[in-house]
Amino acid sequence: MLDGPPWFGKARVLEAAVGAARDRGYTPLLARAPGEVDPAALRRAPRPLLALNDAHADPPALLHLLPVLREPNVTGLLAMTSSLAGDEVRRGLAGADVLPLGPVDPAAVERALRELLELPPHPDFTALAATAGGNPRMLAELVAGLREEDRVEVHDGTARPVEGPLPRRVRGLIGSRVDALPPDAARLLRGASALGAGFRPHDAAAVAGTGATPEAVRALIASGIVLERGERLEFCSELVRRAVAEAVPAPAPCPPPAAPHSDTDRALLHRVRALSEDGRLAEATGLATSGLTGAAPDVTALLHVELAGIRFAEGDAVGADLQAAKACSTRGAEPGTRALAEALRLLANYFTEGPLAGALALSVLSARGQQTGDPDVVMAASVRSCLEWSAGNLAESLYWGREATRWEPGGPTTWWQSYCNGAFALKLSALGEFAQAERLVRPDDPAQPWETPPGARALRLFARARVQLQSGRLVQAQVTGTASLALARGGGIELLIPLLGAVLSTAALLRGDLAAAAEHGRRCLEGPFARRLAELIGQPDWVLLRLAEAQDGPARAAELARGCAARPGALRRVLMEESTAAPWLVRVALAVGDAGLADLVVDAAADLAAANPGTGVPAASAAHARALRDHDPAALRTATTAHRHPLTRALACEDLAELLAGRGDAAGAAEQAERALRGYERMGAEREAARLRARTTGAQPV
């Protein structure tokens, strides 16, 4: 086991160890998470070696995997931060061989500098390198970043750094970790960066103007950015503290009376955007409104765009459209400003009941063509993709979704522009294309020259949580979704609240926390966007169906399913977005003896698959639903391998096990039940696993 703090290069050591093991005749099997490991494949491999990075990220799945790693013919190589894994995991790994990774000594730093620089380091370079706290990865990133920016000079045969801020590469790497923190913790950390290496939480809170809540302090310690030193906290290194401090924006200066008008306008825009990004929407609205009189034409238009973004965040899509229209009609506005305003008009119209969204999108695409980087063209393609999806035209939707992300501007200037990538990632995830989906919503690239607005991070985290949920990583989905919810609440972004309610409710229900599932499920019905979202996507209906079955039994779920089927397009949207929906609804129908509902679901799934040939997920779900209704073991056996979504695959195994048991094939039933149980346990779907155990062993579900 490689055990060390975050950012200490465990992944690189793991990669080198895997290469060495391969040279010695081992068969390395790599996994991104404990829940993705297939024990059967591991056992079949000759001299198998499982390599797993960040093994602490999913403690329940790791605990489930440990018995396999203890088998005599299996070797495990884990890289982790054991302090973040929990006591139970640490006890389970008590007998493992541990290679601790930690800070290297000054002599090793000096040797590394000579190797990286290919010259002896100047004392200034040695002093700068010492601020990395002996962290090999940070040292390498520091040198690489200075070289990229041409900030290494030769002085008397030695390499000396050119003075200035830390390289963008280092600031971006550390900034991405800070951005992943809950908002309160991030504000506390930024306040602490002004106090030096060590600080008391309440002092940092006073500087930051926030609270030093226990949750925020725990989040900082868990991140590895700070260390606990009794009643004080301490940055893990001076380099990290400096990077955090350099990222804190300076207050917008008050321009002197004689300053040009454009300077005043720029300061006004900067302040409005800063207030908006900090979630202080009322203050931002007041400041922007007061600045409309007397501002230059393009600044006036940009202020209307800012006001439109605030209205949209608050859930007033109609008000957002009106403000964006004012920006478009402002005489003297720059073409880029008009395009930005038109993009928000497109998005706002999509989230209203008006028929303009499709017409506006078509007019933009027809008139402007595929002009790379134009925000209105990007948004028009994204809206067209969403409308085609709602209509059940999956291939057309995917075409426009790809075009939208391909044309995305180099650096988003508003949070709502990230909708394009997020919306397309959800569609790819629904079709089982998890790797593509995650690439669209991955964390910031440290090399990117722009800063991502907090609202954009919230939207991206939501989409990532949805992908994690559908790919069977329930714990990660809950963690990511909770982080997104905190950012959305802090920024006043109402659109994300019901969407995150659906993700967190589903994850909680599958994990067996019915109370949390119900609480999150209520969010699907709350807020200004809830009703429109229920008309556009299937997730709210799906959450209500699952909760009804869990709380009140299959009869209530069947009743809601019939109501869903009666609303135009509602059942189709559920079937498109949830591969489990068709077989699950047939299960419900069979449980209450409603053959009509079972037929209705099977026919709807078949129609969706027939209308979209070549898209494997709808076809697999339709075949599974039909096989379940028709009690067809051969077709059900095919379904156990045809599904891309782990939950649906496990459900198919369970359905086949039940059918085989009813036909007297005890051995076949036991094999399929075991496959289903392993699938549920790998995901962390404790409720599903408990229900299956209760059915097969007679034990009471937890």
* 3-class SS letters over 41-103: HHHHCCCEEEEECCHHHCHHHHHHHHHHHCCCCCEEEEEECHHHCCHHHHHHCCCCCCEECCC
**Taking a C-beta distance cutoff of 8 angstroms, is the pair 292, 269 a contact?**
no
Task: Please state, rounded to an integer, the average pLDDT across all residues of the chain.
Answer: 86
List, as one string, the DSSP characters of 443-501: PPPTT-SSPPPHHHHHHHHHHHHHHHHHTT-HHHHHHHHHHHHHHHHHHT-TTHHHHHH
SS3 200: coil
Average pLDDT over residues 415-436: 91
* pLDDT at 533 (0 to 100): 87
Q: Which of 39, 56, 45, 55 lies closest to 21, judged by CA?
A: 45
SS3 164: coil
**Taking a C-beta distance cutoff of 8 angstroms, is the pair 302, 291 a contact?**
no
* Interhelix angle 554-566/539-552, nearest 10 degrees: 160
Q: Which of 173, 175, 165 lies closest to 128, judged by CA?
A: 165
Query: In a 10 Å sphere around its CB, with 0-12 CB exposed, 13-18 middle and 19+ buried, how is residue 222 labelled?
Result: middle
Tokens for 92, please give them.
């389970």
410 pLDDT above the threshold of 60 = no
Average pLDDT over residues 433-461: 74
Average pLDDT over residues 616-627: 94
Q: Which residues are within 8 A (CB) of 540 and not within 5 positions of it... i.e. 6 or more apart?
A: 498, 502, 524, 525, 530, 533, 534
- 214 versus 27: the higher-pLDDT residue is 27
Least-confidence region, from 179-193, 473-487, 545-559: 179-193
451 pLDDT above the threshold of 60 = no
* pLDDT at 260 (0 to 100): 34
Torsion over CA: 691, 694, 700, 702 (sign): negative
159 pLDDT above the threshold of 70 = yes
How are beta strands 232-235 and 198-199 bridged, if at all?
Answer: antiparallel
Q: What is the pLDDT of residues 200-218, one digit of tens each?
A: 787 677 666 666 788 888 8
Query: In a 10 Å sphere around its CB, with 0-12 CB exposed, 13-18 middle and 19+ buried, how is residue 130 labelled?
Result: middle
CA 213/CA 203 separation, integer angstroms: 12
* pLDDT at 190 (0 to 100): 86
Q: What is the pLDDT of residues 638-656, one digit of tens each?
A: 999 999 999 999 999 999 9
| CA dihedral angle for residue 257, residue 259, residue 261, residue 263, rounded to 10 degrees | -120
257 pLDDT above the threshold of 70 = no
Q: What is the residue type of 405?
A: T
* pLDDT at 262 (0 to 100): 61
Q: What is the pLDDT of residues 682-696, one digit of tens each?
A: 999 999 999 999 887
- What is the reported pTM? 0.63
Least-confidence region, from 218-232, 289-303, 405-419, 508-522: 405-419
Within 13 Å of residue 384, how many CA atoms lie on the same side as its CB?
Answer: 24
32 pLDDT above the threshold of 50 = yes
Q: Which of 387, 475, 480, 495 lies closest to 441, judged by CA?
A: 480
State residue 701 phi and psi, 5-degree precision.
-65, 150
Q: What is the DSSP letter of 528?
A: T
pLDDT tier for residue 461 given thresholds of 50, 70 and 90: very high
**Taking a C-beta distance cutoff of 8 angstroms, is the pair 476, 468 a contact?**
yes
pLDDT tier for residue 277 given thresholds of 50, 70 and 90: confident
CA 313/CA 332 separation, integer angstroms: 27
pLDDT tier for residue 457 given thresholds of 50, 70 and 90: confident
* pLDDT at 446 (0 to 100): 44
Tokens for 326, please give them.
């004012």
H/E run at residue 199: strand 198-199
Start-to-end Cα distance in the chain:
33
* Interhelix angle 595-611/570-577, nearest 10 degrees: 70
Q: Which residue has the tokens 């926030």?
A: 210
15 pLDDT above the threshold of 50 = yes
- 559 versus 9: the higher-pLDDT residue is 559
Average pLDDT over residues 313-320: 90
Query: In a 10 Å sphere around its CB, with 0-12 CB exposed, 13-18 middle and 19+ buried, how is residue 327 labelled?
Result: buried
Q: What is the residue type of 224?
A: G
Q: What is the pLDDT of residues 347-406, one digit of tens each?
A: 999 998 655 688 778 777 766 555 556 888 889 889 989 988 988 888 888 888 888 887
Q: What is the DSSP letter of 35?
A: G
Least-confidence region, from 2-11, 16-25, 331-340, 569-578: 2-11
Task: State which of 315-319, 373-377, 556-560 shows the largest mean pLDDT.
Answer: 556-560
Q: What is the pLDDT of residues 42-54, one digit of tens each?
A: 888 899 989 888 8
Q: Which residues are within 8 A (CB) of 625 and not within 5 positions of it... i.e. 6 or more apart?
A: 582, 583, 585, 586, 601, 602, 605
- How many helices and strands in the chain, by DSSP H and E? 37, 10
253 pLDDT above the threshold of 50 = no
pLDDT tier for residue 249 given thresholds of 50, 70 and 90: low
Share of the chain above pLDDT 70, in %: 92
Q: What is the residue type of 607?
A: D
CA 146/CA 602 separation, integer angstroms: 61
